[in-house]
Every structure is written in structure tokens, then in C-alpha cells.
A and B are shown apart, each in its own frame.
Chain A
Amino acid sequence: MPISREYIIKRTVSLVFVVLGVIVITFIITRVIPSRPELLWTGPHATIEQIERARRELHLDKPIYIQLWYYLTDLFMGNWGVSWRTKMPVLPSILGALPATIELVVVAFVIAIAAGVPIGMSAAIRRGTGVDGAVRVFSVVGASTPVFWLALLLQLVFCSWLGLLPAAKRVDEYLVLSTGFRPVTGFYLIDSLIQGNIPIFIDVVRRILLPATVLSLYPMCLSIRMTRALTLEVLNELHVRSSIAWGIPRTRVLYRYVLRNVLAPVIASLGLSFGYTIVGAFMVEIIFVWPGIGYYIAMSLLSYDYPAVIGCVIFVAILYSIINTAVDLVHATIDPRVKL
């Protein structure tokens, strides 16, 4: 059943208001809370002329509602300020770093689903046994682990001690030069496959494996818990019980009826955990020197590069709102029971 047009329009309108709200909140944080915003904007080593210029550029001498107007128009014109760490405009830097982060998060989600759904289902069909208990403990411990700590430890064990995987970066630069690899889309996994560059592809896979696994832990635990609960619910439903009673093999019942009912809501819930995961990516990226948005914001935080930090905050918040809306729309298309 296709979703109604009114629903799409309603969600789009509310998305516009949410984005406006996000921008207004960041305006209050950056311009109203600090007593002298221009000092934050120019950083600790600014000269008096630079500070004066920032005052004019930020329109701080004008009334607050006019400041808000300029703030909004600046954002929509793509004028997000200049990072004084890299001396580059903020928005192009973020857009350039975006594919690296998206690739990492997508691979993390694939790992989360590929491991989480089978684990959750096998715990549910063995409800109350030792396996079930172990899975429940794992899902609680996994959701309680600081992602940056786990990243540090796994990097130490797998890269420094065992030497199994490379410790940092998306791809080996020497390999890039020697094989003539040219990124096109910025998603190295796709780029290397398109160009048939197998050595690069293997290198990229080896490098993305560890950070993506660390990042997948939280969404994995979430999908384990959801899958387990949903499977228990579906197993109790009449059509599943009667098909088992009819003598349909249990594995087939699981694949045919249970998996189909479980998968859509689990994937939808992952969309909502996108926010948590992308903030987790900030910390994973800085540890694995992964040149995405997270690395950019983390380096900016460490050097008090305020325009870059706020630019990233606005960008990620808008991205998060768009993805939430998209997930809701897709979920409504797949699952006709959703009525919001």
C-alpha cells in the first residue's frame, strides 16, 4: 500500500520546522550564551584586528533579531565560517569528509544487522537457557561500553600486539600511488570495485573492519534486544503456532514468518540509533585517524576551533533530522500498520 501524499507533505513540513528549530537553538548557543562570541569565533591566538573583523562579519553590533536573520541567510548561502585550524571554509570541509563517515556508519550498520538479528533470534527460540542468558548479558554490557575505550583496546590488541590489521587511515597511500587509485564518489569500497582495483579493495576492507566493528557494537546490542523481543512476540502469534502445528519445518517458519515480521522494525530502529552511532563515530574516527566528520570535529575540539565545531554540530543535527524523516517514510511504506 503506497503511503498517502498528505503524510509525505506533513512530514516534510515538520522537517523544515525541525531544521529551523535546530538552527535557532545553535544560534542561541553560539551568539546569546557567550558574553563575547567573537572571541570564541576567532580562537585564542587572534589579533585585535581579527577580532574586530569577526565582530563585523558576525553582525554583533546589530540587534539580536537582525543577527538571527543574517545567521540564517549565511547558513543557507553556504557561508558557514572559516576554520582557523585549517584556514579552510567549514562547509566544503565537512562535505568532503562526509563520504568517509557515511561509509563507516553504513558498514557498521551492516555488521550490526548481520550479527544482531541471528543472535537475537537464536536467543529467543532458546528462551530461558544459558545461551539466552549469555546473549542478554552481552547486549547489556555492549550497550554500556564507552566506544572510544573499546576502540583503543581493540586497536592495541589487533594492530599493535597481534599485528593483524592496519591501525589507522582509510587506505594505504603508497598503494594508492602505485596502483593509480582515483576516488570518484569518496566511498572507497565502491570506488575500488568500480575500477577493478582489487589490492586497494582488500586494503580498504582490512582498514574499515575494526573501526566499523567497534562502532557496530551499540546498534548491534540494540538490534539483538529488539529482535529477541519481537521474535518472542511473533512466535506466540496464532499463524506461527498453527504453521508449526501443521508440520511446516521450524527453520522454514523462522525464515518465512518470523524473520519477515522482525526485520522491518529492527531496521527502522537502527535508523533512529543513527544519531548515537554518528556521535560514536566522532570518537572512533579520532582513534583510527579516519578522515571523516568525526575526525574533523574531534581535531577541531582539541584545538578550540569553534566555527568548525559549530558547523559540524549544525550539519550532523540536520542530517540526523533528515534521516529520521526518511526512516519514518520508508517504514510507513513497508509497514502499513504505521499510522502517525
Chain B
Amino acid sequence: MNLEEISSTFKLIRSNPLSIAGIVIVATFVIVGLISPYIVPYPADAWGYSYNLETRLVPPSPKHIFGTDEMGRDLFSRVVLGARFSLIIAIGVVSIALAIGIVVGLVAGYMGGSVGMILMRITDMFLAFPPLLLAIAFAATLGRGLINVIISLALSWWPWYARLIYIQVNSVKNLLFVDAARIIGLSTTKIMFRHILPNSLTPVVIQAALDMGSAILEAAGLSFLGIGVPPPIPEWGLLISQGWALINTAWWISLFPGIAIVITVVGFNLLADTFQEIMDPRLRSTMVMRGI
């Protein structure tokens, strides 16, 4: 990107209120995720290691603004700490999936031939599963647990990144500088990782970062189905499913974690839309022209 492009990108972001909203939401989510253990009003409640008989199922009130659950734990503390677990899951899923996807896509794209074909056929087989279904199979096999959720989701996600990297590598590998590297006798691994990868990585990494919203949504789904993170971890999907049994007496237990999920995922999706507008030069030129 040259200077002009960067400045027009900033102009694009600044002029679109939805993009700004996305940035604010995602930044807030990341900051809350990082500092939540130190800011929650009731730390013991947040981690789930407390039982307060006298404050069971208190509706939202000034003292407990999101109310309390059936164990008398402050729901606000639990939802705020939940941001940390969602952040951990999202970063874990995306980075593991990205690592596998990069290796597979890079090798398949650069090697080509039968190796490339076999690798991409395997990728296609993984893509033949509906989203989340493969993760359900992995999670049911591995059992409940934070790490297992991350592994299950990552193992069902990497094919998307393998495809993206594969396409990028194919468009880069015949450029002149790669030929030059080959002619001066660099090893294949060196060409792949030092010359091709850095030139095909950026869009995929940005895409992956923005996919963290979907990772949060899918992890919540696994937890709701009872194969995600185990209690007493205050993961948002798990909080919703714990409120399910009490929905008629204590609607607030399920309501607030869900709102947290919606706002966070909306933030990531708004940023993803902005990113797509930036990457699509046709759209970008018309938007800059029209001063949007």
C-alpha cells in the first residue's frame, strides 16, 4: 500500500459511522478481555467459586446490574469475565487454524502438481461439512474442555485459510522476484517462507482476525449444546444455556450474555465489511469519488 492508498483507506473508515462503531466495539472487547479479572466487582462470583444463598436469582438492580444466577453469583461480573474467555477462544481458534491453513495452502500452492492436488482435495473434503458440524464431531470425541473447544473449532476452520493462501500463492509464485530467488539457488523452503509467504499473507491474516466474531459465535453454540467449555467457566454460550432452565423465573441470566455476544460479533462483522470495501478497488474508487 502506498501513502495515497492508506490515506484514502482512513478516509473511507472515518467517513463511515458503521466502520467506526466496529472499531470501537472490537477495541472495547479486546481491552475488557485483557483487564477483566482486575475490574470485575465480584471476582469470586466471576470465576464461579462462590455460593451465596441470600442473593439467589436477584433481578437486575443497582447492586447487581445484570442480576444474579441460581447460585447467587453476580451476573455482570461473570459476563465481563466471559469476554476474556471469548477472546482466548477466538485468538486460539484463529491462530491454530491459520497456522495449519498457511502450511497446507503454501505447500499446495507452491509445489502444485500431485502434492498440491492431493492437499487441496483433502481441504475440499473438510469443506464438504456444514460449518460447526465437524466441530461438533471433534468436540464430541475429545470431550468437554476449553482447549478441546479451541482444537475442535480450529480443526474445522483451517480449510478456509488453506484455500485463501492457496489462491494468493498461486498469484504470487510466478512473479519475477520468485524466479530470481530460484535462479540464485535458494532452497525451496526458503523461497516459500521468506519470499512467497510474506507477499501473500496480509489479506488472509486480516480476514482471520475478523473471523474471530464467528469463532465466538460457534464456541457459544458448542457450549450451548453441552460439548463446549465446562462450568463454572463464565463462557457466554454456557451462561445462556445455564439460564435456559430458569428462563421463566429469571430471564436476565440468559438475556445479558446473549447481548454481549451480539454486540461483540456485530463489531467484528462491521469491521469485516469495511475490510471488504477496502479490498475491493472497484467499490473503493466509487466510494471515494462520491465522498462517502
Contacts and interface: CB of A to CB of B under 8 A. Distances in A.
Nearest to A282: B225
Most buried by B among A24, A149, A283: A149
A303 to B, nearest CB: 9
A301 B140 contact: yes
B220 interface: yes
Interface string A165-190: 00000000000000000000000000
A334 interface: no
Interface stretch (A76-84, A110-118, A139-147, A238-246): A139-147
A143 B255 contact: no
Contacts, number: 142
Given A140-B269, A141-B266, A146-B262, A152 B244 contact: yes
Interface string A155-172: 110001000000000000
Interface in B90-140: 121-122, 124-126, 128-134, 136-138, 140
Given A146-B262, A283-B224, A275 B131 contact: yes
Interface string A252-284: 000000000000000000000011101100110
A interface, how many residues as a size bin? Answer: 35 or more
A18 B125 contact: yes
Interface string A279-299: 100110011000000000110
A110 B126 CA distance: 29
Contacts of B131: 275-276, 279
Interface stretch (A3-11, A29-37, A51-59, A88-96): A29-37
B273 A275 contact: no
A98 interface: no
A48 to B, nearest CB: 21
Interface stretch (A67-75, A198-206, A315-323): A315-323
Contacts of A286: 225
A125 interface: no
A152 B128 contact: no
A248 interface: no
A194 interface: no
8 contacts: A21-B121, A26-B137, A137-B18, A144-B266, A160-B248, A275-B130, A279-B133, A316-B130
Interface of A: 17-18, 21-22, 24-26, 29-30, 33-34, 40, 136-137, 140-141, 143-146, 148-150, 152-153, 155-156, 160, 274-276, 278-279, 282-283, 286-287, 297-298, 301-302, 304, 306, 309-310, 313, 316-317, 320-321, 324
Given A29-B141, A144-B266, A324-B128, 6 more contacts: A21-B125, A140-B273, A146-B217, A279-B132, A301-B140, A316-B130
